[in-house]
Amino acid sequence: MSTGLFSGSSSRKRNGSAMATSDDQLQQMRDDIGRLATLIADRGAAASHDAKSRARDVREQAETDFQDLLANGEQMLSDLRRRYADTERELRRTVREHPVATVGVAAIIGLIAAAMLRR
């Protein structure tokens, strides 16, 4: 008689201890696979949590840096406006004090510009 996979029930009875061992091994393998799947899921969840935490930290840092940059930009713009106003006042004062020299400088600048544009 054959004792293969498709053999009759009489051969199964004779090999009962071997079948029980195979069933135990299959159950052990199923348990191991279940624990492995749980372990992988836990590690995946932990990695996801870490990635989200890092992303949150980076976003908060970027927002803080952006706010600092914006504040610095506003301060620079304010300084530029103040300097422009100071320069304008100084230029007006100089024109009032030296009107002839101002006209002469303007004429020279015009001649230089005309000479450059001809070329």
pTM: 0.46
Rg from Cα positions in the chain: 44
The predicted pLDDT at position 17 comes to: 61
pLDDT at 19 over 60: yes
The predicted pLDDT at position 22 comes to: 87
Q: Given the structure tokens 């009875």, which residue do they identify?
A: 13
> What ranges in the chain are assigned the alpha helix state H?
9-14, 16-97, 99-118
Report the candidate in 1, 23, 19 with the shortest Cα–Cα distance to residue 10. 1
**pLDDT tens by residue, 69-107:** 999 999 999 999 999 999 999 999 999 999 999 999 999
> Which residue would you say has higher pLDDT here, 119 or 67?
67
Q: CB-side exposure of 60: number of CA atoms within 13 Å? A: 6
Contacts made by residues 4-9, CB under 8 angstroms, sequence distance 24+: none
**Phi, psi (5° rounding) for residue 2?**
-90, 150
The predicted pLDDT at position 9 comes to: 47
* pLDDT band of 6, cuts 50, 70, 90: very low
What's the rounded Cα separation, in Å, for the pair 11 and 118? 113
**pLDDT tens by residue, 20-77:** 688 889 999 999 999 999 999 999 999 999 999 999 999 999 999 999 999 999 999 9
